[in-house]
Amino acid sequence: EVLLRMHSVGICGSDVHYWQHGRIGDFVVKDPMVLGHEASGTVIKVGSGVTHLKPGDRVAIEPGVPREMDEFCKTGRYNLSPTIFFCATPPDDGNLCRYYKHSASYCYKLPDNVTFEEGALIEPLSVGIHACKRAGVTLGSKVFVSGSGPIGLVNVIVAKMMGAAAVVVSDLSASRLQKAKEVGADFTVQVKNETPQEVASKVESVLGCMPEITVECTGVQACIQAGIYATRSGGTLVLVGLGPEMVTVPIVNAAVREVDIRGIFRYCNTWPVAIALLASKRINIKPLVTHRFPLEKALEAFETTKRGEGVKVMLKCDPTDQSP
């Protein structure tokens, strides 16, 4: 293990949800819990067996650590391990604090040209990498991203990076769609009160064809329905957003058109990829951070996220650090 002095921690929608509702699905907060799972910091102490890190190293933290080497770990899908430790998922504490201890194997050294903030953003970025891989995005893909929050935006960035020829994004909010344009979306569809079928035909008309791939990032029933209707026959729909447990969807429509529906659970094996992309400047995720607060103003930061202002709110945990 390593002891870290924390630097930057992003606030996620799930953090806000636990704060407001005390549960997400089967994960129920029963005791006080530290939030935060999008994080970076500086190593200040290393355990006796740690060789790849030393005090002073700047690292990004992968929050999910398997507790045992089970069949999922052996096949490289450790995110599916039932006994996994995960920051800020009850009963496991997160890392929104000044000092934090973590498994050294899940701390990744940041190159000098990758900032602490970018290091913290690797966590949401990883969701995009994992989703686009599961979706099979490749050279020339036409992609529909449903939802333009932070996760929708990282999927736009990653899909374009992986060779998508055209990406269309839908959302209720004009300002969020504007942000999608800024990070590389080719087309946007502002949803008002259209039916799911109408949303699907709007997507088709702006793209000039039906997308082979849809990445659904809202979890809203109507959006999942639109995702099925929008996806080209033989294509793939990846469900990223989490909503209610039971959802009514036109499953027969998907079945008879051979539309594959895939889920994702967090991510695995994405930190090295993300660090390589950031270090080589192949992607730019800096525009995602719109608000910064010191740790003392955490409540204000959470309120800002809850109101849906900006995109990504970042907390600064290290009072000695004066970097912007």
Domain boundaries, the chain: 2-109+285-316, 131-263
Residue burial 102-116, b: 16+ Cβ < 10 Å; e: rest = bbbebbbebeeebbb
- Give me the pLDDT at residue 253, please: 98
Write down the mean pLDDT value for the chain. Answer: 96
Average pLDDT over residues 217-236: 98
Residue 228 confidence (pLDDT) above 90 = yes
The yes-or-no answer to whether 2-109+285-316 and 131-263 have a common fold is no
- For domain 131-263, the CATH superfamily is NAD(P)-binding Rossmann-like Domain (3.40.50.720)
Residue type at position 295: L
- Give me the pLDDT at residue 322, please: 59
User: Whole-angstrom Cα distance, residue 2 to residue 46?
Assistant: 4
Condensed to tens digits (0 to 9), the pLDDT of residues 305-320 reads 999 998 999 999 987 7
- Give me the pLDDT at residue 324, please: 47
Average pLDDT over residues 142-150: 98
Q: Which residues, including other chains, have CB under 8 Å from residue 99's CB and lie 6 or more apart?
A: 3, 4, 5, 6, 44
User: What is the share, in percent, of the chain residues with pLDDT greater than 90?
Assistant: 97
The highest-level CATH class for domain 2-109+285-316 is alpha beta
